[in-house]
Amino acid sequence: MRNLLAFDLGASNGRAILGRFDGEKITMQELHRFENNYIEMNGVFYWDTPYLYNQLKQGLLAFKQGGFGQLDAFGIDTWGVDYGLLDKNGHLAGVPRSYRLGVQADIDAVKEKVSAETLYARTGIDTNLTFNTLYQLYRRLREEDAALAVADTMLFTPDLLGYFLTGSKGTEYTIATTSGMYNPTTKDWDWETIEELGLPKKIFTKIEKTGTIRGCLRKELCEEIGINAAPFVAVGGHDTASAVAAIPGKGSFAFCSSGTWSLFGAEMDKPVLTQEAASRNFSNEGTIQGTFRPLNNIIGMWIIQECRRDWIKAGVEMSWDEIVVAAREAEALRSIINPDDSRFYAGGNMVQKIQDFCKETNQPVPETVGQIARTVYESLALKYRNALEGLEKMKGQRIDSLNIVGGPINNKFLNQLIADSLDREVVTGPVEGAAIGNLLTQAMALGDIKDLDQLRQVVRNSEAVEYWTPNHTADWENAYQKLLTFLK
């Protein structure tokens, strides 16, 4: 029986999840959960990295106190694009920034040096995403940022936290592909763009294959916690890569890793670097097996999460289940929004932003919690259809089903809306997609699983899935045509 520990960090919370693997099935147990929120200081958004590191230590302590025996391995997956800088002594050079800081001016500044067409041909990453690591770094260069000036190494968030636990540096493949600085043709950093922008080349470490065993827990940490020196496996560092690895789908299927963001795509052997893919805002990110998953970065639960914060501030305390009930009771397809309109990227006043969008587009303005929530859920389902059609054009074949993983699949009302919008069967599960992908990649690194097919068979052995049959009506078709006008 293997004892594996997955640290799965999202942009709003994190968990330490124990996986006990017997060679055929894996059982999971949450040992520790914690919140994760970016912090605004003097107009800049940061991540509280010392706090996150301490929460990982608490996860290790929970394992020790649970009396499970020896820890065989651990891995870390997080959201993409964000990073920390280390100085020549290996210490943090400044506080790691949050991608929420990105603005259009960051994109414009890069495109003055390198055109959007050139960037996409080199990296296959959507050039319209303000949070891309490339834009973040160039902004700091333009601002003559002191931390960047003294930086000796850049590590993405999962690699950074792994370094603090082990003392070993490295860059895992899937997390590197989220940056807008990886060239899928040369299978290395996009050195041409890095040089043309004048970014410091020395901060980039060698890109390693997913599943590389990179050091083990530091001696001092082991003594402090009373735990063995477990090896650190560089799993699919991007949580979407880990989640997609755990999708039990067969045949021609698309995937959606659902959370604060909805990462919607399909697996392919080669990147799609055409202008058609660029025009549809597809990003070619990496899979744990070293191939690619062209996907759309769609704003997911972020909008409704921010609405709930607005309602709480206004004194309206409602659980997620109560919000879903209110949405179910509201009128169907009354108003829709484009979830990826730039106004929805930043937090704050989300209810008002939704109402303003509807007013500007001459639609009924949603007022109640149910009307607003239904507007968000239906709009997301319609945006999924647009992404699915783009994938079908890129693959040159029909996609028969959509497999969704992540916590939001507990919203059964939304699952049915998605099936109705797509007119495709929807399969949901597992809930803990990123965590189980993280855990089983560790097992693969230890030699207990031979390949991705066997990994997915273990998922099918271990996790139940649900199926949603579509009920596509003319009202959905009319609403989709309306969304297309917004996208234009």
The 10s digit of each residue's pLDDT in 290-304 is: 999 999 889 999 999
Of 244, 252, 232, 222, which Cα lies nearest the Cα of 161? 232
What mean pLDDT is predicted for residues 389-400? Answer: 90
Give the pair of three-digit tokens for residue 440: 């089983």
pLDDT at 51: 97
Of 268, 275, 307, 310, which Cα lies nearest the Cα of 291? 268
What mean pLDDT is predicted for residues 196-222? Answer: 98
pLDDT at 353: 98
pLDDT at 121: 97
What mean pLDDT is predicted for residues 443-465? Answer: 94
pLDDT at 12: 86
**Any alpha helices (H) in 246-301, and if so which ranges?**
275-279
- Read off the pLDDT band of 177 (50, 70, 90): very high
pLDDT above 90 (res 74): yes
The CA distance from 223 to 246, in Å, is 34
Give residue 452's Cα distance to chain centre.
20
pLDDT at 347: 87
Q: Which residues contact 201 (CB under 8 A, 6 or more apart)?
A: 191, 194, 195
What is the overall mean pLDDT for the chain?
A: 96
The CA distance from 86 to 254, in Å, is 38
What mean pLDDT is predicted for residues 313-330? Answer: 97
**Any alpha helices (H) in 1-48, and if so which ranges?**
none
Give the residue numbers annotated as catalytic, written as ranges: 239
The CA distance from 158 to 175, in Å, is 8
Burial of 339 (0-12, 13-18, 19+ CB in 10 A): buried
pLDDT at 105: 95
Judge contact between 289 and 247, C-beta under 8 A: no
Residues 22-36: tens digit of each pLDDT: 999 999 999 999 999
pLDDT at 432: 86
Strands 261-265 and 253-258: antiparallel
The CA distance from 326 to 110, in Å, is 44
pLDDT above 80 (res 84): yes
The CA distance from 6 to 140, in Å, is 32
pLDDT at 395: 84
Give residue 304's Cα distance to chain centre.
17
Give the pair of three-digit tokens for residue 136: 């973040």
Q: Please give the order of strands across the beta sheet that includes 26-35.
A: 26-35, 13-21, 2-9, 73-77, 231-234, 212-216
Residues 346-386: tens digit of each pLDDT: 889 999 999 999 999 999 999 999 999 999 999 999 999 99
Q: Which residues contact 1 (CB under 8 A, 6 or more apart)?
A: 20, 21, 22
Of 394, 159, 375, 142, which Cα lies nearest the Cα of 293? 394
What mean pLDDT is predicted for residues 61-79? Answer: 97
What mean pLDDT is predicted for residues 69-86? Answer: 97
Ramachandran quadrant class, 281 (left: phi over 0; alpha: psi -120 to 50; beta: rest): left
Judge contact between 152 and 87, C-beta under 8 A: yes
Q: Which residues contact 54 (CB under 8 A, 6 or more apart)?
A: none
pLDDT above 80 (res 250): no
- The reported pTM is 0.85
User: What values do phi and psi take at 172, rounded to 5?
Assistant: -80, 145
Q: How many CB atoms lie within 10 A of CB 454?
A: 14
CA distances from 361 to 177, 338, 372, 483 (A): 36, 11, 15, 11
pLDDT above 90 (res 396): no
Burial of 478 (0-12, 13-18, 19+ CB in 10 A): exposed
